[in-house]
Structure 1
């Protein structure tokens, strides 16, 4: 007696063959990629300030008074880059330079800015959230030596809750910090109570110059 092959059986067999032969693209994509390949552990990714912008430490969230730096960059050593979804682990360094002050009574300029305790532990999650964290022994902090009408003063600011966060955007391969709060740790009255850090860095690229995407 001849066996009968139903349409459902044929469809099921075909589907199984397709699924068995298809590469598992979703399972193979790393959190950080460049030119379609995973960014290698040990590589350094980096970005300058977005053209025409400053890195700002405003005295209030979204404010126009404070310290503004025309030169800044961020670079990160990739320590771990797992399959997405997940979080890549990095060690990050931030530079600030060519800084001026506006709108702060009695402060006329900036002698120097030093970002302390570098590098900082950083995670980049598949949803684009970038988190930079310090430790109790090595907090996220910056030392500002400011020019005032009465001479130089030194101000130390520490990140609120010892962490700052940013958003990574694949549209322009950018990382953007917005109004990340720093609090005065030490310094005289000429040092404002708070600084709100805002900066956009783009494009984020590998050491070979390839644009980095977050998956």
Structure 2
């Protein structure tokens, strides 16, 4: 209300939102019955040409200035416990996953290629096998014929030299391979019987792979060789046969090793000796310390 009794509208000077300000005296309203002596007021005038402040400050009409962002209240005790429990749980899960990842390869490495009764066959153990029951070892003149030599007693022994983790290849040293000629017969024209069969150039290296493949390999520069002694009307003759190597198959079904039609070639001997000898035999069970051997 003006002194003349007219209503007037008080207009405040506009303030820019940003920038530094200078405090200066401004227009004071006339005294009123409610406020006979108004307190002096100070107005803010923007100062141009200065950089903007780093923070914006909200000014109150009465009282000190306050920052826009209020500090976050401290976390409660319940929230602290929850955070600690969650961190502990995550660490436990991480450790469990890491342990599981390490355990898987370790369990696979514990199973070697050759086992006997579930236990690993040790290096140095001797594997033994004789002909499977009801079978014979044969040396026939052809892969499909029946003319040749048949023996119902044969055996081998091999010493394990390496038995790595499966899948892999175990190796052995074949030190003995015998045929009992008392149980051998000959089905060859002019031959009366078999005096002996020997396996020469021992030892051979024998390898057994996880897929069951068996390989018999001679020493470098040598051959797998057998000498067969036959009785004839003219006396005893020697037939010498050689092969670069032999390949067989191992089976866990009956713990066997089988050789089928492995070809030998005659390198010396009488004309009564057939030109080729095809060797077939099945040995089972293969044992180590009296326990059947499995291939893994």
In 2: Cα distance, 1:135 partner to 1:43 partner: 21
In 1: Cα distance, 2:185 partner to 2:247 partner: 24
In 1: Cα distance, 2:293 partner to 2:129 partner: 10
For residues 118-168 of structure 1, the C-alpha deviation after alignment (integer angstroms, 9 at most, x for no partner) is: 221111111111100113554211111111233221110001xx1001101
CA RMSD of aligned residues (A): 2.1
Aligned to 2:109, what secondary structure does the other structure show? helix
For residues 166-194 of structure 1, the C-alpha deviation after alignment (integer angstroms, 9 at most, x for no partner) is: 10101110000000000001012100000
1:26-175 pair list within 5 angstroms: 26-92=108-174, 93-97=176-180, 98-102=183-187, 104-135=188-219, 137-159=221-243, 162-175=244-257
Distance 1:15 1:113, change over 3 A: same
Distance 1:16 1:74, change over 3 A: same
Aligned to 1:24, what secondary structure does the other structure show? helix
Q: Which runs of 5+ in 2 are unaligned?
A: 1-74
- Structure-1 residue corresponding to 2:72: none
Distance 1:142 1:20, change over 3 A: closer
Q: TM-score when scaled to structure 2?
A: 0.65
Q: 2:126·2:158 contact (CA, 8 Å) conserved in 1? A: yes
1:173-212 pair list within 5 angstroms: 173-206=255-288, 208-212=289-293
Greater mean alpha carbon deviation, residues 16-25 or residues 80-89: 16-25
In 2: Cα distance, 1:143 partner to 1:158 partner: 9
In 1: Cα distance, 2:215 partner to 2:140 partner: 21
Q: TM-score when scaled to structure 1?
A: 0.87
For residues 68-92 of structure 1, the C-alpha deviation after alignment (integer angstroms, 9 at most, x for no partner) is: 1111012110011111121111111
Q: Report the CA distance between 1:24 and its aligned residue.
A: 2.8
Moved over 3 A (4+): 12-23, 135-138
Structure number with greater Rg is 2
Distance 1:146 1:22, change over 3 A: closer
Higher relative contact order (CA 8 A, sep 6+): 1
In 2: Cα distance, 1:23 partner to 1:120 partner: 33
